Amino acid sequence: MPLTPEQQAEIDEQRAQTTPTRRATAPGMEKHLYTAHPVLDHGFIRVIDYMGDDNAITQAARVSYGKGTKAVSNDEGLIRYLMRHWHSTPFEMCEVKFHVKLPVFVARQWIRHRTANVNEYSARYSILDREFYIPAPENLQAQSVINNQGRGETLQGEEAQRVLDILREDSTRAYDHYEEMMSEDGQQGLARELARMNLPANIYTQWYWKVDLHNLFHFLRLRADAHAQYEIRVYAEAMCKIVADWVPFAYKAFEDYRLGGTQLSGPGLKVLQKMLKGETVTQESSGMSAREWRELMEVVEG
Amino acid sequence: MPLTPEQQAEIDEQRAQTTPTRRATAPGMEKHLYTAHPVLDHGFIRVIDYMGDDNAITQAARVSYGKGTKAVSNDEGLIRYLMRHWHSTPFEMCEVKFHVKLPVFVARQWIRHRTANVNEYSARYSILDREFYIPAPENLQAQSVINNQGRGETLQGEEAQRVLDILREDSTRAYDHYEEMMSEDGQQGLARELARMNLPANIYTQWYWKVDLHNLFHFLRLRADAHAQYEIRVYAEAMCKIVADWVPFAYKAFEDYRLGGTQLSGPGLKVLQKMLKGETVTQESSGMSAREWRELMEVVEG
Amino acid sequence: MPLTPEQQAEIDEQRAQTTPTRRATAPGMEKHLYTAHPVLDHGFIRVIDYMGDDNAITQAARVSYGKGTKAVSNDEGLIRYLMRHWHSTPFEMCEVKFHVKLPVFVARQWIRHRTANVNEYSARYSILDREFYIPAPENLQAQSVINNQGRGETLQGEEAQRVLDILREDSTRAYDHYEEMMSEDGQQGLARELARMNLPANIYTQWYWKVDLHNLFHFLRLRADAHAQYEIRVYAEAMCKIVADWVPFAYKAFEDYRLGGTQLSGPGLKVLQKMLKGETVTQESSGMSAREWRELMEVVEG
Amino acid sequence: MPLTPEQQAEIDEQRAQTTPTRRATAPGMEKHLYTAHPVLDHGFIRVIDYMGDDNAITQAARVSYGKGTKAVSNDEGLIRYLMRHWHSTPFEMCEVKFHVKLPVFVARQWIRHRTANVNEYSARYSILDREFYIPAPENLQAQSVINNQGRGETLQGEEAQRVLDILREDSTRAYDHYEEMMSEDGQQGLARELARMNLPANIYTQWYWKVDLHNLFHFLRLRADAHAQYEIRVYAEAMCKIVADWVPFAYKAFEDYRLGGTQLSGPGLKVLQKMLKGETVTQESSGMSAREWRELMEVVEG
């Protein structure tokens, strides 16, 4: 359970208050506001604020004075057109701010996406909580034997248990020592900015993360992908659900054209065109490398 | 008068609607929403949406769960501390979206600020309106004789009149020809994307411009400055007033530490310290160039 | 002819000098350095500096200590893999700086790409040259009747002539008045920053533009595309040729996977997979809109 | 000693090769190329590539055709003017690429500067080396009692020894367990992307980091500052020395106007002006808070 009763009370208090506003309001997003959606064993993601809705996208694309056309079907068609043809700036007109609690090694992947605003909890000023990510047994996998960057089979029995014991014990000891080094009881007490270096990468941190919808989609395409590491993918999947409620037209277009879509190379496209005409094409005749051919056949066969 | 009755009606309709929201709401900003504040002869600036308030800055700085401390004085102190010590990320947690109508030559300066989201009215798809910036006589100045990049004395009498006549006549003719080239009446009609090249830089364009508060402050520091060109400065000044209503603590800190503040060089600081101790310092003994010395004396004398 | 003899002499002088360097050097790029490649009637593009080569991409992807593997085939395979799987950061490790002379209406499209560094010739400080883009007759097209944003048939005879006359005469008059307003002969002389507003969008400007290879590819994909306006496409095409000489492996991968490739939507992919299995699919059974179906069929048929 | 003999040999090989280039070459930077400058106990910083020199800054500011003026004094004056008046884009025309080896907790601070290109060694693909930052005894400080974010007195005797023992033993054990979990000897072997979560924040990582000079100066102003954490400051200081050799005029201007300079608030400036006229000003009469007043007096007194 990631929240203390005090934190839950603060959240409940914020959720209980509403104020009238003249701004565009997305009913599907209002219901998410402030609620902590649990992710992993101690993490969460919660929406702190948002700007805009589906209408804000078409309104900006048209540079319009008011809400623009009342015909909802026109709006959806325009949004799909913009997504299909890589018009990114209208999607930048929506913005969302999340509060995320996540393990440090996930935070390190996440921060590689630079086009966002971030305020992270500071371990120079403050003391981190004793909370570590310990994977569920079904998420402990061996190194993949076919992919340098992936996971293979799930670890079995004793080996899995040994891993979990190591992670638990090393985390506990590291945190005990972290506290011990900083303690001012009978000693000076090491500076926080130094003591933190003893903490392992499965400790939880938290941050406020604000991003526009275009860049969020870019993040989600990479991180909700099957090749992303499980521990970041679950955050991306939680955000996908939230975004689907916030901007349903834009999310559907994103799902159709990006998440569920695929990129064909020029040579790959020629192969497909020949195949559709009934011609026989082989890797050799295509001029593609074995790897490129295999990836193309995976796309073709679904 | 920059708005048609239809545009004004659309704005009025949007202003008349309020919806309850759980989001942070800034009362000083709600009153500005959608209203077109006139700038120059046909331009305007209007707030389309915003995210956050003063409290959102401190909340992010503290990575807090709820609204954070209730003590308003703490919030103001923290905001001033963050501004003074160049902590920029908490200010990035507020966002604002403007609809701006502005002459093309102003737009060209404005767009040099890259950390913002922009959707401009497209003269490839659409036909621009017949609206041109013609300066008021008091804003017609001669080239500065002491500053390559500035204006000097106001033009007088006949010369001013000649300039205004040229600007008006050339604008009118250029627009007549723009329409004539595109006309499909008895001819094919030139493509819009080509015809637009005949239009001068004082024609008005418009865009949606969205920016976070930190980058907006950066823009305002440069463009609300006395050295900025008058025609962009008036937009910056209009935004300053809006921002002061939106996030009063942050704006006050910005005014004290950036707008009204000054940067002292290391050598300049040493000169001041000596002067305060009663020592006599001259340009020669300071080691500064004549120009640097003059600029420092301007700061010293106020 | 875009260059004065003095400018040509400066360029020749720079081309004549070589210095030994320990940095990675791309022979294909050295030959382009400083040379002005003509674009449009008065424009050009020239390489001022560059950083990195194909090897710099794989070196960064491997975070290696030296030049990395000597096996060139490995390098090409890795570069293609990185491109195919959207690993963008290794391509960011190459950088290029161009000096570009281009009409203002092209500059206004170009600058929408924000992830680049720009220094533009300032019409606040300096006086622009009397050089205007006047299209060649074969590049004067009518507004497209099937595409809001495109060109259709080439203008014929008298209409074409009228357009060219208008563009030439209005440019000449605008520039005469620009000079006249600024003249200090018998009058004060209007400030440059004001006088420039009378100049039309086909006047030439120039800038230094510096960008990394990833963002350059993004620019080229959009601007070397058949849907881009002709007047910016010719700059993109000139850059494509230069980049192909600079980083041949990366450019080939870009050509195969981006320029010549296509994006299939999830629903579009399903349609293709059915077709390849010999099933009959129609727009109706596909659930796609008429427009999306038409665009898919264009891809299928090549 | 941070480098293996193989790595040193690769570096030596690269340093031994020179190629003629037409590009601008900075002799002060050539001598640094590839050399690993040691930082902390196992870290280093080395220049991999660079673009531009002092002249490239003025050349871009002038948008010139050749090398520009031969008068070096003009160049320095212009560079100082540009720095003093916050003209940032000419400084963006120089670019540098570093290879940095640094502890993870330093990398996490560093990466907050988003306007740069980064390729980090991947612990999903590869196995990290057994190298941990263990502070020198003189760099072990207690938490500051006057500043939440700083260090106070140096730890003494037994306490210092206990801290060093903890850091060494926990690092060793964590790495032993990291290897043990991944081992495929008699077991499946945990995936690398999971095993890494057991590693503490003092383990070394490495990356390629590329940045333009303007953004590098921004980084250095914050990180070479006395308030920055020691462990990142030493990297910033090593870069300062390198930059001083690369672009001596720009670095001197940076030193005078940014590093050694100070920002005065509007109220602070008024206080100084009164003091210089011989008036007595107190905190009360100034209207400043106690903290702001104290910070101003520190500036005044040097």
**A149-186 residue pLDDT tens:** 789 999 999 999 999 999 999 999 999 999 999 999 99
C266 vs A261, A265, A289: nearest CB:
A261
Q: Which two tokens stand for residue B116?
A: 């913002």
pLDDT confidence of residue B145: 83
**Which residue in chain B has the smallest CA separation from A47?**
B23
Residues from chain A that touch B3, judged by Cβ atoms under 8 A, are: 65
Active site residues of B: 223
Query: Residues D111, D214: one domain?
Result: yes
Crossing angle of the two packed helices C266-276 and A290-301, in degrees rounded to 10: 90
Contacts of C108 in chain B (CB under 8 A): 104, 108
Whether the CB-CB separation of A299 and C273 falls below 8 Å is answered with no
Contact C269 A276 (CB under 8 A): no
Count of other CB atoms within 10 angstroms of residue D77: 16
Q: Which of B143, B190, B198 sits opposite C192 (nearest CB)?
A: B143
CA distances from A222 to A84, A103, A259, C17, C258 (A): 18, 19, 9, 46, 17
The answer on pLDDT for B197 being more than 80 is yes
Same domain, yes or no, for D10 and D117?
A: yes
> What's residue D247's pLDDT?
98
Return the closest-CA partner of residue C120 out of C95, C139, C98.
C98
Selecting from C59, C117, C206 the residue whose C-beta is nearest the C-beta of D89 gives C117
Per-residue pLDDT of chain C in tens (302 residues, 90 and over written 9): 579 999 999 999 999 999 999 999 999 999 999 999 999 999 999 999 999 999 999 999 998 877 655 566 688 999 999 999 899 999 999 999 999 999 999 999 999 999 999 999 999 989 999 999 999 999 999 998 877 778 999 999 999 999 999 999 999 999 999 999 999 999 999 999 999 999 999 999 999 999 999 999 999 999 999 889 999 999 999 999 999 999 999 999 999 999 988 889 999 999 999 998 889 999 999 988 888 899 899 888 87
**Residues A104 and A156 grouped into a single domain:** no
A-chain CB neighbours of B91 within 8 Å are: none
**Chain C residues with CB-CB distance to D30 below 8 A:** 21-22
**Do B16 and B89 belong to one domain?**
yes
Residue of B nearest to A28 (CA): B21
Nearest CA in chain D to B275: D276
Whether the pLDDT of residue A195 is over 90: the answer is yes
Number of domains in chain D: 3
Q: CA of C3: which chain D residue's CA is closest?
A: D65
Residue C115 located in a structural domain? yes
Task: Work out the minimum CA distance from C285 to partner chain D, whole angstroms.
Answer: 43
- pLDDT tens sequence across A1-19: 579 999 999 999 999 999 9
Q: Which residues span the domain enclosing C279? A: 266-301
Q: What is the DSSP letter of A247?
A: S
Q: Is residue C144 part of a domain?
A: no
Chain C residue whose CA is closest to A279 = C276
Residue D8 burial class via C-beta count within 10 angstroms: exposed 0-12, middle 13-18, buried 19 and up: middle
- In sign, the C-alpha dihedral spanning C204, C210, C213, C214 is negative
Chain A residues with CB under 8 Å of C261 CB are 263-266, 268-269
The CA distance from C166 to the nearest CA of chain D, in Å, is 31
Q: CA-CA distance, D222 to D115, in Å (whole number)?
A: 14
Measured distance CA(D76)–CA(D249) in Å, rounded: 6
pLDDT > 70? residue B34: yes
Chains touching chain B at 3 or more Cβ pairs under 8 angstroms? A, C, D
The overall average pLDDT reported for chain A is 93
Are C248 and C139 in contact by the 8 Å Cβ rule? The answer is no
From chain B, the residues in CB contact with D301 under 8 A are 273
Under an 8 A CB cutoff, do B261 and D264 touch?
yes
State the Cα–Cα distance between residues D6 and B71, nearest whole angstrom: 60
Q: Which residue of D has its CA nearest to A163?
A: D181
CB contact under 8 A, D261 and B264: yes
- CATH assignment of the domain containing C108: 3.30.1360.170
The reply to whether residue C261 touches residue A268, judged by beta carbons under 8 angstroms, is: yes
Residues from chain D that touch A148, judged by Cβ atoms under 8 A, are: 125
Do C20 and C106 fall into the same domain?
A: yes
Distance of residue A63 Cα from the nearest chain C Cα, in angstroms: 16
Contact A287, A296 (CB under 8 A): no
> What pLDDT is recorded for position B52?
98
What pLDDT was estimated at residue C2?
Answer: 74
Which candidate in B134, B143, B154, B223 is best for mutational testing of the C interface (most C CBs within 10 A)?
B143
Are A93 and B207 in contact (CB < 8 Å)?
A: no
pLDDT, residue A146, reads 77
Residues from chain C that touch A262, judged by Cβ atoms under 8 A, are 263-264, 269
In the set C23, C80, C223, C258, the catalytic residue is: C223
* Domain end among B201, B230, B250: B201
Long-range contact pairs involving D171-177 (C-beta distance under 8 Å, separation at least 24): D171/D132, D171/D134, D171/D200, D171/D202, D171/D203, D173/A170, D173/A173, D174/A170, D174/A174, D174/A200, D174/D198, D174/D199, D174/D200, D175/D130, D175/D132, D175/D199, D175/D203, D177/A166, D177/A170
Angstroms from B39 CA to nearest CA on chain C: 17
Considering the domain architecture, whether residues C124 and C207 belong to the same structural domain is answered as yes
Taking CB atoms and an 8 Å cutoff, what residues of chain C touch B166? 177, 180-181, 198
Instruction: Work out the minimum CA distance from B239 to partner chain A, whole angstroms.
Output: 18
Partner residue facing C263 (CB), from A261, A272, A300: A261
Q: Is residue A127 part of a domain?
A: yes
pLDDT at D150: 82
Question: Does residue A187 belong to any structural domain of this protein?
Answer: yes
Residues 6+ apart with CB under 8 A from A192: A123, A124, A125, A126, A127, A182, D143
- At residue A2, the pLDDT reads 74
CA distance B205 to chain C (A): 12
- The whole-angstrom distance between C56's CA and the closest CA on chain D is 9
Q: Under a CB-based contact definition with an 8 Å cutoff, are residues A79 and A205 in contact?
A: no
Residues 6+ apart with CB under 8 A from B14: A22, A66, A67, B33, B34
Task: Judge whether A155 lies within some domain.
Answer: yes
Chain D, nearest residue to A204 by Cα: D197
What is the reported pLDDT for A112? 93
Which residues in chain A touch residue B17, judged by CB atoms under 8 angstroms apart?
22
Residue D271, token pair as written in the block: 């206080």
Give the residue ranges of chain D where pLDDT is below 50: none
All residues of chain B having their beta carbon less than 8 Å from the beta carbon of residue A118 are: 89
D30 lies in the same domain as D128: yes
Contact flag C7-D66 (C-beta cutoff 8 Å): yes
ipTM at complex level: 0.94
B78 and B150, same domain (yes or no): no
- Please tell me whether residues B108 and B192 are part of one structural domain: no
Is the domain of C206 the same as that of C291? no
CB-based contact B24 A119, cutoff 8 Å: no
> Do both B43 and B112 map to the same domain?
yes
CB contact under 8 A, C269 and A299: yes
Subunit contact A198:D200, Cβ cutoff 8 A? yes
Among residues D180, D201, D222, the one where a domain terminates is D201
Instruction: Write the residue in B23, B92, B208 that is nearest to A63 by C-beta.
Output: B208
- Quick one: DSSP state of residue B129? P
For chain A, how far is it from start to end, CA to CA, in angstroms?
39
CA–CA min distance A195, chain B (Å): 21
Inside any domain, residue C105: yes
Q: What angle do CA B265, B267, B272 make, to 5 degrees?
A: 90
Of the residues A80, A151, A223, A294, only one is catalytic, namely A223
SS (H, E, C) chain C: CCCCHHHHHHHHHHHHCCEEECCCCCHHHHCCCCCCEEECCCEEEEEEEEECCHHHHHHHHCCCCCCCCCCHHHHHHHHHHHHHCCCCHHHHHCEEEEEEEEEHHHHHHHCCCCCCEEEECCCCCCCCCCCECCCCHHHCEEECCCCCCCEEEECCHHHHHHHHHHHHHHHHHHHHHHHHHHCCCCCCCECHHHHHHHCECCEEEEEEEEEEHHHHHHHHHHHCCCCCCHHHHHHHHHHHHHHHHHCHHHHHHHHHHHHCCEEECHHHHHHHHHHHCCCCCCHHHHCCCHHHHHHHHHHHHC
Is residue B24 predicted with pLDDT exceeding 60? yes
The residue of D63, D69, D88, D100 whose CB has the most chain C CBs within 10 angstroms, and thus the best one to mutate to test that interface, is D63
- A22/B20 touch (CB, cutoff 8 Å), yes or no: no
pLDDT band at residue B1 using 50, 70 and 90 as cut-offs: low
User: Cβ contacts (< 8 Å) between D275 and chain B: which residues?
Assistant: 276
User: Which pLDDT tens digit goes with each residue over B251-267?
Assistant: 999 999 999 888 899 99
Q: What is the mean pLDDT of residues B141-160?
A: 88
Q: What is the pLDDT of residue B2?
A: 74
Residue type, A57: I
Q: Are residues A291 and A173 part of one domain?
A: no
Is the CB of D22 less than 8 angstroms away from the CB of C22?
no
Residue D160's closest chain A neighbor by CA? A190
**pLDDT class of B125 with cuts at 50, 70, 90:** confident
Q: Could you tell me which chain D residue has the CA closest to the CA of A116?
A: D114
pLDDT of residue D27: 96
How many Cβ contacts (< 8 angstroms) between chains A and C? 90
Residue C287 in any domain: the answer is: yes
Average pLDDT of the residues in A123-139: 95
Residues of D carrying an active site annotation = 223
Site from A15, A58, A63 to mutate, B interface, most B CB atoms within 10 angstroms: A63
- DSSP letter at B242 equals H
The distance of C120 to chain B (nearest Cα, Å) reads: 10
Measured at the alpha carbon of residue D258, what is the angle toward residues D253 and D259, in degrees to the nearest 5?
Answer: 100
pLDDT digits (tens, 9 = 90+) for A30-52: 999 999 999 999 999 999 999 99
Whether A139 is covered by a domain: the verdict is: no
